[in-house]
């Protein structure tokens, strides 16, 4: 095993020390959607619970989280964990709104925002959000890069640098051990895409393997997601806690198979060039040589420069003039 990747996994351990009672924990905003990067974070977080003997009493997604249910089940000692990722800010308002609702509603409970990258288009929105968070008495923010950590100081006095939760998966996944002669260009197609994707694509020969998460996912995945959404919303509307728990259990098992399927796909390539942060992190976990390119606001190189640049199978994309 790679010692540097073991060390990155070990850097997540201090998060467990922030939890007041490991038997009294809520985990909120788990990803009931098909962004595989978020699913890697999710399964890394679940692995973290297992590795650190953390019993989570309640797990809810954005679709079935109900404040009244939380109020009924929370205790003064409950630690609330909010899912990590790259959605802290105003690009994905539904997740930020969920976090802000928790901060407003439970001012006396410890709240931990798991490793995040912050980005706001609007300075005014940032300042309003920062003021709300700063009023909370016991909020702890984990930042995946230094730019985010510096910004988080406006939100809380309790700010820590931490690698992504997906690193907890190291040692549970297969690693690269065969050569295929194939290269993958794993490039964003969403709102975080930039001119880099166009520039890379323009220089590639015909027949090059260009993919994003959607190209690896299947129609069955979409169907399972649609059913899970419907059940989660039904359970929220009728306040059926056992059905919410069942949706989570099924989704966890189903998406673990997605992670394994994507790993198999990635391992069929000898090297991967990617503008997705979790294209890079997943390649590292699988020990596949990879080239890091940025997204639209510098998330990827900010992360790699802090955590992964010293791995001998990681390189940085340089633009050809």
> What confidence score (pLDDT) does residue 5 get?
96
Q: What is the chain's mean pLDDT, rounded?
A: 92
pLDDT tens by residue, 169-188: 999 998 888 898 999 988 87
Query: Tokens 């709102």 — which residue?
Result: 191
> What confidence score (pLDDT) does residue 321 get?
39
Burial of 181 (0-12, 13-18, 19+ CB in 10 A): exposed
The residues of the chain scoring below 70 in pLDDT are 190-194, 295-297, 319-321
> What confidence score (pLDDT) does residue 206 get?
80
Q: Which residues contact 224 (CB under 8 A, 6 or more apart)?
A: 254
Q: Give the phi and the psi of residue 128 in degrees, each rounded to 5.
A: -65, -45
pLDDT tens by residue, 70-82: 999 999 999 999 9
| Closest residue by Cα to residue 245 from 102, 41, 15, 69 | 69
Query: Tokens 């201090």 — which residue?
Result: 14
> What confidence score (pLDDT) does residue 219 get?
95
Q: Give the phi and the psi of residue 255 in degrees, each rounded to 5.
A: -75, -20
- C-beta of residue 162 within 8 angstroms of C-beta of residue 142: yes
pLDDT tens by residue, 269-310: 999 999 889 999 999 999 999 999 876 667 788 899 999 999
């Amino acid at each position: 095993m790679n010692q540097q990747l073991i060390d990155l996994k070990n850097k997540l351990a201090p998060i467990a020390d922030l939890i007041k009672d490991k038997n009294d924990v809520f985990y909120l905003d788990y990803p009931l959607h098909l962004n595989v990067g978020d699913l890697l974070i999710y399964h890394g977080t679940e692995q973290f619970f297992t590795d650190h003997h953390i019993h989570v009493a309640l797990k809810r997604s954005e679709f079935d989280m109900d404040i009244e249910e939380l109020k009924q089940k929370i205790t003064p000692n409950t630690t609330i964990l909010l899912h990590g990722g790259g959605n802290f800010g105003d690009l994905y308002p539904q997740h930020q709104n969920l976090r802000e609702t928790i901060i407003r509603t439970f001012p006396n409970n410890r709240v931990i925002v798991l490793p995040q990258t912050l980005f706001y288009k609007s300075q005014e929105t940032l300042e309003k959000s920062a003021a709300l968070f700063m009023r909370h008495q016991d909020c702890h923010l984990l930042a995946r890069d230094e730019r985010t950590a510096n910004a988080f100081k406006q939100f809380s006095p309790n700010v820590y640098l931490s690698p992504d939760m997906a690193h907890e998966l190291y040692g549970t996944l297969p690693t690269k051990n065969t050569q295929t002669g194939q290269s993958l260009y794993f490039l964003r197609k969403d709102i975080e895409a930039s001119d880099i994707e166009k520039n890379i694509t323009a220089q590639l020969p015909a027949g090059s393997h260009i993919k994003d998460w959607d190209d690896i996912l299947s129609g069955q995945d979409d169907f399972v997601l649609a059913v899970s959404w419907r059940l989660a919303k039904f359970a929220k509307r009728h306040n059926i806690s056992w059905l919410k728990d069942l949706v989570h259990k099924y989704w966890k098992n189903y998406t673990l198979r997605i992670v394994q399927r994507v790993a198999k796909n990635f391992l069929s390539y000898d090297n991967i060039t990617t503008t997705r942060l979790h294209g890079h992190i997943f390649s590292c976990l699988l020990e596949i040589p990879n080239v890091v390119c940025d997204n639209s606001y510098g998330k990827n190189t900010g992360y790699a420069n802090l955590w992964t640049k010293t791995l001998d199978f990681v390189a940085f994309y340089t633009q050809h003039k």
